[in-house]
Structure 1
Amino acid sequence: MASKTLFEATPPFPDDLQPVAEIATISLAKLVADDASEAQTMLDACRHLGFFLLDLSRDTVGEEMIKEVDQVFEMVRETMDLSTEEKVKYSSDPPRDFRGYKAEGIMKTETGAPDRCEFYSLLQDDILGNSTVSPALPTPEPINSRSELLRSYFEHGHYALKYICRALSTQLHLPPETFWDLQAPTRSSGTMLRLIRYAPSLSPSDMRTGLLSHTDFGSITLLANVTGGLQVLNPQFQPEDEAGWQWVRPRPGCLIVNMGDAMVQWTGGILRSNMHRVKYAPGEQRLVPRYSAAILTRPYKEAAMQRLAGGRIPTVEDDEREGLVIQDEGISSLTAWEWELKKAMALKEGKDCARSRGGRELRAMDVA
């Protein structure tokens, strides 16, 4: 997350706002030190809410990433301040190609109203030189002039991601590198950095959902933002019930981390991919642009989407013995790239009704 200085330059998150989600704060330094208690707390958060705050402080690499977030936000601002005529030169073409610019209003919210966000997506393969299919695309000057920052930001994100993956693998009694190997940055994938801007909410008509409720269909998301607006769904509520939507309060020096659908699939529903959305920013924050940067991590393209074996991961036979029916929607026979394209097409055609996934209880024999 951004530095305290950047937070102090932004209108404050309202102290009296309700309901605010109770999100566990996990120390990256403790994960690096292989703190079993911290790893267990993180697993609990990933099973119940699917979200946690990752405190980057007191870790050398984490402290560097905090400084870089401020620089990335400046890049987002400069990019989005370009003229519309300039930005549309770099328009994306999903689902064929997710790279590039998406203008505000192209997608819809739950009421059918246009969305209120614009973003620019940068493929990890292009930044790191992993692409074997298509060449890197041209980028606007605010991005093109910061190639070293982008490479470093990805590398520092990988550092945090690796220790998250190791802790989850260990807590689920899997080999330590299990989850990391499925999304290692040395292999070609759909992993991207998304630079996002939401316009200020200056009128009552702007005080609505800016980005439709959804789950992330990758593996793990690392989000940096300063201004509020992100809401997560209380697992006890249905998305149609407004009382179930809870505000997420950003904190200096912390990333907001959430599990994606791939982690649910691999763990047979143990980890939770929770619905979330972006509303207007609360309080005086609604009067300023909302910037964020999300590393959307996805498996390497040839990774198998079948359920992992061993450890605490239940087998299909376990499900049958316990009278459970865990539908994999035909995912298990697909590669990660096939699965992502299938889900992207379904979302574009309105056939995939977003819902929270996972969060199943561990079997009694697996609880220490």
Structure 2
Amino acid sequence: MASPLFFTSAPPFPDDVPVAQIARISLEKLANKDAQEAKAVFDACTSLGFFLLDLRGNSVGEELIKDVDAALEATGETMDIGPRRENALHSTYAQMLFWGIMKTKNGKPDRCEFYVVTQDDILHNPSRFCIKDDDPFHTHPFPNPPPIESRRHHLEGFVNRGQYAITLVLRAFSTQLGLPENIFRERMQPDQSSGTIIRLIRSAPSLTPEEKRTGLVAHTDYGSITLLANVTGGLQVLRPDADPSDERGWEYVKPEPGCLIVNIADAMVQWTGGVLRSNMHRVNFVPGTQALVPRHSVALLVRPQMDTRMSRIVGGRIPLVSEDGEDKAKRAEELKGLSAIVWERRKAMALREGRDIMKSRGGRALQPLAAV
């Protein structure tokens, strides 16, 4: 999360709203292979699917905080000069990959606008977006707006140092599952082309009763893992035992200085046979006096590299039978040869067409190592 300087410049988070009880995990302890911290992050990601990653006290983490500050500055300046929502609504699909908005269930625009910077652009990987050699998205570096270009080195730091933090989290998962240490990392290597993006997000202030509504509909992320930084509230998670239609089941995530909000996404559920949890979340109106100012966020949405296979990992403590009762052979055959990029496109299309009922996924019991 941002440095304390950003937090002191924003209205305080209110103390009269329901706040989710989220584990706080130390990056420094994960770096030192602390066994208790590895278990704590694993427990958090098999129950709620969210945790706070405390960057303070770790040399890479301290630099990452500076990168987050710069990325939040870039977000505010970019949204002030970019096309407004009315233009984004009429953008082509290619333009929407970079400038865009999202929509609510009834088809109306939500209250978020965003700009996307791809990891492939920042790290000069082959671009997944290029269709032909003269396609503008084939250009490296991509001609982003000036507030982004002037901070390109910080965005590169945000990606590289964010990926360092993710490597430590993935290592904890592997050890807790009784799997080879790099088994998840090798499926989402930063130097390989992927759909991994930095998303700069702005939510408008909620100044009227009509504007005090859900800003981004309930969803799960369909990548691997997400790092989120913001100063004001608005993000809500669904309690694992709650019905998404019951407003009492939604709780705010309180941002904390020096901490990133981390959540597990659908690919990790797929690979672990439903052990890790991808939990429903949404952006509601910002609580208290924070509703009077724009909400700026920066997210690193990490997705598998394009050619990674999406079949479930076999071994360790991963269950042998899928959640719906299919045996491992049947499921493996179904996903045989299915690459991550095809899997992502199918999931995105199913969501758009209403064929994929949105729900939290994962949180299954582990297979005992002795039985493997």
Map 1:86-105 to 2 at 5 A. 93-94=92-93, 99-103=97-101
Q: Which residue does 2:77 correspond to in 1?
A: 78
The Cα of 1:351 is off from its aligned counterpart by 2.6
Map 1:262-273 to 2 at 5 A. 262-273=267-278
Q: Which residue does 2:221 correspond to in 1?
A: 216
CA deviation digits over 1:77-123, x for unaligned, max 9? Answer: 000001537995999754x67631004xxx33245542000000111
The DSSP-based 3-state class of the residue aligned with 2:184 is: helix
Alpha-carbon RMSD? 2.7
Given the superposition, is the C-alpha separation of residues 316 and 276 from structure 1 closer, same or farther in structure 2, using an over 3 Å criterion? same
CA deviation digits over 1:289-313, x for unaligned, max 9? Answer: 0000000000000101000011111
Q: Which residue does 1:351 correspond to in 2?
A: 355
Given the superposition, is the C-alpha separation of residues 320 and 194 from structure 1 closer, same or farther in structure 2, using an over 3 Å criterion? closer
Q: Is the 8 A contact 1:258 1:273 kept in 2?
A: yes
Q: Which residue does 1:340 correspond to in 2?
A: 344
Q: Is the 8 A contact 2:111 2:204 kept in 1?
A: yes
1:115 is aligned, of 94, 110, 123, to 110
Q: How many residues align?
A: 361
TM-score, normalised with respect to structure 1: 0.91
The Cα of 1:132 is off from its aligned counterpart by 5.0
TM-score, normalised with respect to structure 2: 0.90
CA deviation digits over 1:180-233, x for unaligned, max 9? Answer: 111010111000000000000000000000001000000000000111000000
CA deviation digits over 1:248-274, x for unaligned, max 9? Answer: 111000000000000000000000000
Q: Which residue does 1:226 correspond to in 2?
A: 231
Aligned mates of 1:145, 1:200 — CA distance in 2:
27
Give the AA of the match of 2:99: Y
Aligned mates of 1:305, 1:251 — CA distance in 2:
34
Aligned mates of 1:17, 1:114 — CA distance in 2:
26
Given the superposition, is the C-alpha separation of residues 319 and 230 from structure 1 closer, same or farther in structure 2, using an over 3 Å criterion? closer
The DSSP-based 3-state class of the residue aligned with 1:294 is: strand
1:250 aligns with 2:255: yes
Aligned mates of 1:328, 1:353 — CA distance in 2:
23
Q: Is the 8 A contact 1:92 1:99 kept in 2?
A: no
Aligned mates of 1:139, 1:363 — CA distance in 2:
47
Give the AA of the match of 2:308: A
Query: Which runs of 5 or more residues in structure 2 are unaligned?
Result: 131-137
**Which deviates the most, 132-141 or 214-223?**
132-141
1:189 aligns with 2:184: no
CA deviation digits over 1:299-345, x for unaligned, max 9? Answer: 00010100001111122399869x99x97995554110000111122
The DSSP-based 3-state class of the residue aligned with 1:292 is: strand
Query: Which runs of 5 or more residues in structure 1 are unaligned?
Result: none
Aligned mates of 1:318, 1:217 — CA distance in 2:
18
Map 1:8-23 to 2 at 5 A. 8-18=8-18, 20-23=19-22
Give the AA of the match of 1:99: L
The Cα of 1:17 is off from its aligned counterpart by 1.5
